[in-house]
């Protein structure tokens, strides 16, 4: 090893879902919204000016729009380049204790990557046999708590009483609830913000607002937490959010009717897909997200995954202990899900 190589930070990177570039395919592997953004978003795109200038480092227009939408003050909102950027900033800002932070053993696989990258000690309590978090595992001494609700890749949602019990037991550390999928089912932890100054709720425009390509994420919490995030952000890069994302993000917030219509359509498609899966011999946790985490009683997940891929249907397979016989299947359009069900019927009847 060369002398300088000893000083290179080495981590095992996060592996995102495959992004195939085929003309005809059914892409159900990365939890993207199958519908386009609001027409108002696309109209705004053509009116964006002053790209020669740096964008507003405080992202004021988008922060104000998000704050107004959620009934918060602008000082309670932090915006970043996708929720991954927001969460990475939160890890860097709030998880600086020598005590381990806590997150589930089966969850969003970026958490352990950030912990390793920033050299944050961590512990991963096991989910129970039904893929549920054991709340008593989060009542020991720790340096912070984070988990998605609904969880990923399982889709399991925990109610507000559950969330509050964890908050009550962890008032001396920051508790982050990652709500990337909350619009597809369940009640947001936002209503707990007035009661718990250590709560940070993180959201994204990538799923329910059909804007994964624009990279918009945000966090909501008390003013002290948001100020701390902004200090870290401006110590790293003040101009993280580009002008098109700011303008188009505001346009999305302003079209509530379109947003609700598409979310309701995805939920209805998901519920029908669950019924179809059950009839075909699949089992799965009750998903409250825009995906289903399913296993079949006889067919192996990896074999189904590979067979579907040959037909231009992309699903997500995790070659990991405990979940290596499950497929995470994003909810597409009604037509796409019918085509997938037809594929399953053909494959399982061979």
End-to-end CA distance of the chain: 53
Q: In this structure, is residue 130 part of a structural domain?
A: yes
Predicted pLDDT at 18: 86
Euclidean distance between CA atoms 75 and 223, whole angstroms: 5
In degrees, rounded to 5, the angle at the alpha carbon of residue 105 between the alpha carbons of residues 97 and 143 is 10
Q: In this structure, is residue 331 part of a structural domain?
A: yes
The domain boundary, picked from 221, 254, 287, lies at 254
Contact 302, 340 (CB under 8 A): no
- Whole-number average pLDDT of the chain: 96
| Comparison of pLDDT for 14 and 76, the residue scoring more | 76
Could you tell me the CATH number of the domain that includes residue 308?
3.90.1150.10
> Same structural domain for residues 207 and 109?
yes
Q: Is the dihedral of CA 48, 50, 53, 55 positive or negative?
A: negative
Axis crossing angle, helix 256-279 with helix 243-254, rounded to the nearest 10: 80
The tens digit of pLDDT for each residue in 52-111 reads: 999 999 999 999 999 999 999 999 999 999 999 999 999 999 999 999 999 999 999 999
Q: Does pLDDT of 6 surpass 90?
A: no
Q: Does pLDDT of 22 surpass 90?
A: no
Contact 33, 262 (CB under 8 A): yes
Euclidean distance between CA atoms 144 and 135, whole angstroms: 14
Contact 215, 245 (CB under 8 A): yes
> Same structural domain for residues 148 and 281?
no
> Same structural domain for residues 54 and 122?
yes
Predicted pLDDT at 350: 66
Q: What percent of the chain has pLDDT over 70?
A: 100
* Centroid of chain to Cα 120: 21
> Same structural domain for residues 109 and 208?
yes
Q: Nearest 10 degrees: CA dihedral of 63, 69, 74, 76? A: -100
| Comparison of pLDDT for 164 and 9, the residue scoring more | 164
Euclidean distance between CA atoms 113 and 137, whole angstroms: 21
Euclidean distance between CA atoms 255 and 109, whole angstroms: 32
Q: pTM of the entire structure?
A: 0.96
Q: What is the mean pLDDT of residues 167-196?
A: 97
Could you tell me the CATH number of the domain that includes residue 73?
3.40.640.10
Q: Does pLDDT of 114 surpass 90?
A: yes
């Amino acid at each position: 090893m060369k002398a300088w190589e000893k000083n290179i930070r080495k981590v095992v990177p996060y592996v995102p879902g495959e992004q195939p570039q085929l003309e005809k395919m059914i892409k159900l592997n990365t939890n993207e919204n199958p519908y386009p953004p609001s027409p108002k978003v696309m109209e705004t795109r053509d009116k964006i000016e002053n790209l020669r200038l740096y964008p507003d480092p405080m992202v004021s227009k988008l922060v104000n729009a998000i704050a107004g939408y959620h009934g918060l003050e602008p000082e309670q909102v932090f915006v970043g380049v996708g929720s991954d950027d927001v969460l990475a900033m939160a890890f860097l800002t709030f998880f600086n204790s020598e005590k381990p932070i806590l997150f589930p053993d089966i969850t969003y696989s970026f958490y352990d990557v950030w912990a390793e990258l920033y050299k944050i000690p961590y512990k991963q309590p096991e989910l129970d046999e039904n893929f549920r978090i054991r709340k008593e595992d989060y009542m020991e001494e720790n340096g912070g708590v984070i988990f998605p609700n609904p969880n990923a890749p399982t889709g399991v949602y925990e109610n507000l009483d559950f969330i509050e019990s964890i908050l009550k037991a962890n008032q001396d550390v920051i508790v982050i609830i990652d709500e990337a999928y909350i619009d597809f089912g369940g009640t947001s932890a936002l209503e707990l913000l007035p009661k718990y100054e250590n709560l940070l709720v993180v959201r994204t425009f990538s799923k329910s607002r059909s804007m994964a390509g624009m990279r918009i994420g945000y966090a909501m919490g008390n003013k002290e937490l948001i100020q701390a995030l902004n200090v870290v952000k401006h110590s790293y890069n003040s101009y993280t959010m580009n002008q098109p994302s700011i303008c188009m993000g505001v346009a999305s917030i302003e079209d509530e009717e379109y947003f609700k219509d598409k979310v309701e359509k995805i939920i209805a498609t998901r519920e029908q897909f669950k019924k179809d899966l059950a009839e075909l011999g699949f089992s799965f946790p009750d998903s409250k997200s825009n995906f289903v985490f399913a296993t079949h009683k006889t067919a192996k997940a990896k074999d189904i995954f590979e067979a579907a891929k040959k037909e231009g249907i992309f699903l997500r397979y995790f070659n990991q202990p405990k979940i290596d016989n499950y497929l995470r299947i994003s909810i597409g359009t009604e037509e796409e899900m019918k085509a997938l069900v037809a594929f399953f019927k053909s494959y399982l009847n061979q």
